């Protein structure tokens, strides 16, 4: 009896200590579990099914599901040029279960072009998660234009501005529209913008000589270039486009203009940092997969995978970059 009692007391003490440790671990783990809830993750896309933004979101969501071991679904919430999706995510619980996949336009263009009309603040209402891709803007001319460089184009327009100063874009208020304004200011030209109702209409106008130039997503003009109906003079990225490796950038031709539109993932403001990092880690792993990268490149996009801090810096820089040309354009919603 005298030998078993101390052992019994020690066992009780050990059991108590173990229970306390487990309770403490459960207590300290609770916030992390709350920050990273299980269940379905929704990726909200403010554009219709079939759009590039939708296709990209589905490729990324598919990979995220494998990485996280959770169901990740894409929900299309089109309307107001993407603004409806932003508003929905702004109002969603900040718990890591809702993401916004959006292009730069809703975050850095609309605050200027729809000044005073937005129901969200891109810099305050969202937590940056992952910069997904860049895509290139380019300036193309009709095949019959006797120019092969930006310098030649500027001289050609100045020689007969009344006939040659018309440039088009797929839509008023689009990034290509405002990039044309930016280029005109840098080149000392007075270019007249001609908006069209979509990419196909704009391409037809360029091929038919109705406009002398087109500011466009570079990948969209590929068929015209390959068919000998247009010529791409420059792209606006930091580097040349993989789709057009022989086409120099604006900077290479003496114009300090960079416009790298992008797609990115955001969460509602207030989403815990641990949840943001978990989501970014999964997305970054998806974008690092060679097969997935090739699927994205085939869409005419350039995979990146930058993290929250860098995405936040890119958003702020683009927010500041696009304000001046938008104001200079005199654009008003509904034009």
**For residues 21 and 279, what is the distance between their CA atoms, to the nearest angstrom?**
30
Residue % of the chain over a pLDDT of 90: 71
Half-sphere exposure of 114 (CA within 13 A, CB side): 21
* CA-based nearest residue to 243, from 221, 267, 270, 211: 221
Structure tokens given for 162: 């009344």
Burial of 307 (0-12, 13-18, 19+ CB in 10 A): middle
d(C-alpha 54, C-alpha 33), whole Å = 30
pLDDT in tens, 62-73: 999 999 999 999
| Sheet arrangement for strand 166-169 | 192-195, 166-169, 213-217, 137-142, 230-235
**How far is residue 144 CA from its own chain's centroid?**
34
pLDDT of residue 334: 62
pLDDT of residue 4: 42
pLDDT by residue (tens digit) across 86-110?
999 999 999 999 999 999 999 999 9
Rounding to the nearest 10 degrees, give the CA dihedral for residues 245, 246, 251, 255. -140
Confidence at 242, pLDDT banded by 50, 70, 90: confident
pLDDT, tens digit, 9 for 90 and up, residues 27-64: 333 333 344 567 899 999 998 888 889 999 999 999 99
pLDDT digits (tens, 9 = 90+) for 260-271: 899 999 999 999
User: 301-333, pLDDT tens digit by residue?
Assistant: 999 999 999 999 999 999 999 999 898 888 888
Q: What is the pLDDT of residues 70-88, one digit of tens each?
A: 999 999 999 888 999 999 9
Least confident window among 6-20, 203-217, 274-288: 6-20
Entry field: residues in the chain? 335
Domains and CATH numbers, the chain: 41-134+261-329 (3.40.190.150), 137-253 (3.40.190.10)
Question: pLDDT category, 294, cuts 50, 70, 90?
Answer: very high
In tens, the pLDDT along 133-151 reads 999 999 999 999 999 999 9
179: confidence class by pLDDT, cuts 50, 70, 90: very high
3-state secondary structure of 120: coil
11-15, 54-58, 232-236: least confident range: 11-15
Beta strands in the chain (DSSP E): 41-45, 72-76, 98-103, 126-134, 137-142, 166-169, 192-195, 213-217, 230-235, 262-268, 302-306
Q: What is the rounded average pLDDT for all residues in the chain?
A: 88
Average pLDDT score over residue span 16-34: 39
Half-sphere exposure of 172 (CA within 13 A, CB side): 12
The pLDDT score that the predictor gives to residue 224 is 93
């Amino acid at each position: 009896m005298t030998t078993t009692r101390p052992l019994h007391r020690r066992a009780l003490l050990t059991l108590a200590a173990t229970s306390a440790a487990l309770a403490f671990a459960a207590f300290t783990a609770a916030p992390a579990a709350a920050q990273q809830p299980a269940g379905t993750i929704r990726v909200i896309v403010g554009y219709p099914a079939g759009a590039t933004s939708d296709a990209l979101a589905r490729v990324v969501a598919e990979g995220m599901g494998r990485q996280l071991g959770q169901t990740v679904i894409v929900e299309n919430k089109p309307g107001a040029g993407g603004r409806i999706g932003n508003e929905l995510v702004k109002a969603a619980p900040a718990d890591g279960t809702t993401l916004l996949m959006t292009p730069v336009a809703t975050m850095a263009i609309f605050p200027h072009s729809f000044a005073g009309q937005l129901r969200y603040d891109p810099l305050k209402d969202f937590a940056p998660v992952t910069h997904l891709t860049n895509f290139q803007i380019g300036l193309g001319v009709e095949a019959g234009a006797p120019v092969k460089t930006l310098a030649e184009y500027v001289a050609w327009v100045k020689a007969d501005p009344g006939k040659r100063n018309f440039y088009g874009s797929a839509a008023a208020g689009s990034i290509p529209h405002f990039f044309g304004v930016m280029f005109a200011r840098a080149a000392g030209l007075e270019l007249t913008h001609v908006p069209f109702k979509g990419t196909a209409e704009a391409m037809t106008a360029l091929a038919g000589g109705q406009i002398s130039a087109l500011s466009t997503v570079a990948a969209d003009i590929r068929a015209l270039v390959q068919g000998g109906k247009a010529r791409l003079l420059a792209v606006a990225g930091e580097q040349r486009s993989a789709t057009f490796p022989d086409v120099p950038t604006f900077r290479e031709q003496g114009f300090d203009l960079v416009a790298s539109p992008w797609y990115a993932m955001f969460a509602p403001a207030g989403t815990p940092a641990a949840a943001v990092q978990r989501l970014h880690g999964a997305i970054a792993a998806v974008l690092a997969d060679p097969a997935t990268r090739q699927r994205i490149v085939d869409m005419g996009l350039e995979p990146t995978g930058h993290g929250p801090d860098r995405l936040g810096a890119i958003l702020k820089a683009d927010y500041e970059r696009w304000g001046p040309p938008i104001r200079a354009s005199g654009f008003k919603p509904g034009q």
